[in-house]
Structure 1
Amino acid sequence: MAYVDHDPRAHYLALVQRKRLYGGIMFAVFVLLLVSGFVLADDRNAGGFWNGLPNILGFPSDVIADTLPRLDLLPGHLAKYFPALVETVNIAAASTLIGTALAMLLSLLSTRGLARWPRLAPLFRRVMDLMRAIPEIVIALVLIFVLGGGPVPAMIAIAFHTGGALGKLFSEVNENADLKPVEGLASVGATWGQRMWLGIIPQVAPNYFSYALLRFEINIRASAILGFVGAGGIGYELKNAMSWGQGKFDEAAAIFILLFATIVVFDQLSSYVRNRLVSQEHH
């Protein structure tokens, strides 16, 4: 009977080489798809990308050229568009609150071991998938067609998408919760809502709050973008300022400054709060 000497090191090196080969093939396929997709998109756009590439700095230079001679008007522009910025932040805040409440309910209904109706848990998961899959701008365009322009369609669209996105994150947090408090509450006759509110929510609230803050940052940007399709806020004012062209770019610069400052402030604030929450959890 022949004796076969299996060298563990050689076997390991063979596995590593095979893994690298598969990884290289996947990377090559990804690059090929990326290049082909770009070429197709450029052709559908009448080849405008390469022709327009030399003009990439044209708009920023026009904005700077319009703004520098009128720096004395900048404080007035900032004050003029500040109410629109407040409207944008209000849209983001309201949609985050509504979306967070919806995400909490959907996540609890779709988490194994916590679901009110276990057989319907997959259905609630698919609902959250659908809510995440539809972009906010598509929902906003439909609602603007039905309800007209303004902040309400933007708020509903962002809240709908936020509910699906946060619901996925919340359900993952719920799966790590300790079920002993829930079992204790069930033993004394507590309802499903009472078990969730008293047994689960106190455990997961810091993570919920952290994710909601992160989503609030995203929703500020989303509400500004939706303004371009007529959903109100500072995005709508920016669209108008850019549409007026040269001579009004100093107003666009003021809006850019307001947006940038707002995003930086809320980013730093939410990062500070999230870090405090994490440090409290560790203690």
Structure 2
Amino acid sequence: MADLTNDIRGDYLALTRRRRLYSGLLLLVFALMMIAAFDILESRNAGGFLNGLRQLGDFPRGLIAEAWAKADRLPGLLVGFFPSLLETVNIAAASTLFGALLGTLFALLSTRGLALWPRAIPLFRRIMDILRAVPEIVIALVLIFILGGGPVPAMIAIALHTAGALGKLFSEVAENADLRPVEGLASVGAGWGQRMWFAVMPQVAPNFLSYALMRFEINIRASAILGFVGAGGIGYDLRNAMTWGPGRFDQAAAIFLLLFVTIVIVDQISSHYRNRLASVEH
């Protein structure tokens, strides 16, 4: 019996050592690949990343110094850029609303037990995968080429990406919905839309709203970034301020401050309502 125990213990230790060896080799290969990739990127990078590290603090140092020297202009700049901030928030709000509505439709059509056309479930899931896979900035660039610059291409681009992201989250929530109310309504002749509205939505609405609020925070940042490619909003003003460089750094500082305060406020409000929705759900 003792010999059998020793044999089992020896086999276990041998397997453990082998697993550690394989893990170490895999980690070594990964590290070598990372080093090789960085070396290739460094050779192709204009100016060199390592050589530019010493200049990493030049921009924030110059921005803070100029903004401090022109601090008396900061209130006026904040007021002047506030309409652009509102445009950015409006883009985020509209894209979140349209994206959440489209994502809800995709989620219900791609959930087993709820789908209107069960055979089309893979199709709707692949559509959501595509919408999530394509970055907002790529969609926005295509739409700007077609529609011209402005907030509309940004709103459509963010809404499409939001539909793919929220559709995936919504479908996971809908899969856990109780099907008994759905079956009860179906037994009395209710249509698909009536079953979804009266039997499913009351169950999933708190989670849907919570995810939509979280996505709204993300979309504010996305709409600001899209301003750099001519999609309007405060990102467009920030690009202009940073393009001019020194002499306009006080404007860039005001825009950064507006964005920071807005994101903090939206995050606090969103967190408050998400917590309330979570408490209602439980």
TM-score (normalised: structure 2): 0.93
Query: Equivalences for 1:165-204 in 2 at 5 Å?
Result: 165-204=165-204
Quote the residue 1:146 is aligned against: 146
Mean CA deviation greater in 65-74 or 151-160? 65-74
Q: Does 1:60 align with 2:60?
A: yes
Instruction: Figure out how many residues of one structure are paired with residues of the other and give that number.
Output: 281
Give the 3 Å change call, closer, same or farther, for CA 180–156 of structure 1 in structure 2: same
Q: Does 1:263 align with 2:263?
A: yes
Specify the SS of the correspondent of 1:203.
helix
Specify the SS of the correspondent of 2:211.
helix
Quote the residue 2:78 is aligned against: 78
Specify the SS of the correspondent of 2:231.
coil
Specify the SS of the correspondent of 2:51.
helix
Quote the residue 1:116 is aligned against: 116
| CA-CA distance at 1:30 after TM superposition | 3.5
Give the 3 Å change call, closer, same or farther, for CA 182–21 of structure 1 in structure 2: farther
Give the 3 Å change call, closer, same or farther, for CA 69–22 of structure 1 in structure 2: same
Specify the SS of the correspondent of 1:267.
helix
Q: Does 1:5 align with 2:8?
A: no
TM-score (normalised: structure 1): 0.93
Give the 3 Å change call, closer, same or farther, for CA 185–258 of structure 1 in structure 2: same
Post-superposition Cα deviations, 1:156-176, rounded to whole Å, max 9, x if no partner, equal: 000000000111111111111
| CA-CA distance at 1:276 after TM superposition | 1.5
Mean CA deviation greater in 43-52 or 179-188? 43-52
Quote the residue 2:228 is aligned against: 228
Give the 3 Å change call, closer, same or farther, for CA 12–101 of structure 1 in structure 2: farther
Q: Counterparts of 1:233 and 1:163 in 2: how far apart (Å)?
A: 22
| CA-CA distance at 1:225 after TM superposition | 0.2
- Gaps of at least 5 residues in structure 2 are none
Amino acid at match of 1:5: L
| CA-CA distance at 1:29 after TM superposition | 3.8
Post-superposition Cα deviations, 1:5-57, rounded to whole Å, max 9, x if no partner, equal: 35776666666555555544444444333333322222222452112111000
Give identity over the alignment, percent: 67
Q: Counterparts of 2:261 and 2:27 in 1: how far apart (Å)?
A: 38
| CA-CA distance at 1:244 after TM superposition | 1.3
| CA-CA distance at 1:268 after TM superposition | 1.3
Q: Counterparts of 2:224 and 2:213 in 1: how far apart (Å)?
A: 17
Q: Counterparts of 1:27 and 1:170 in 2: how far apart (Å)?
A: 36
Give the 3 Å change call, closer, same or farther, for CA 15–267 of structure 1 in structure 2: farther
Amino acid at match of 2:280: Q
Q: Counterparts of 1:171 and 1:25 in 2: how far apart (Å)?
A: 40
- Gaps of at least 5 residues in structure 1 are none
Post-superposition Cα deviations, 1:220-246, rounded to whole Å, max 9, x if no partner, equal: 000000000000000000001111111
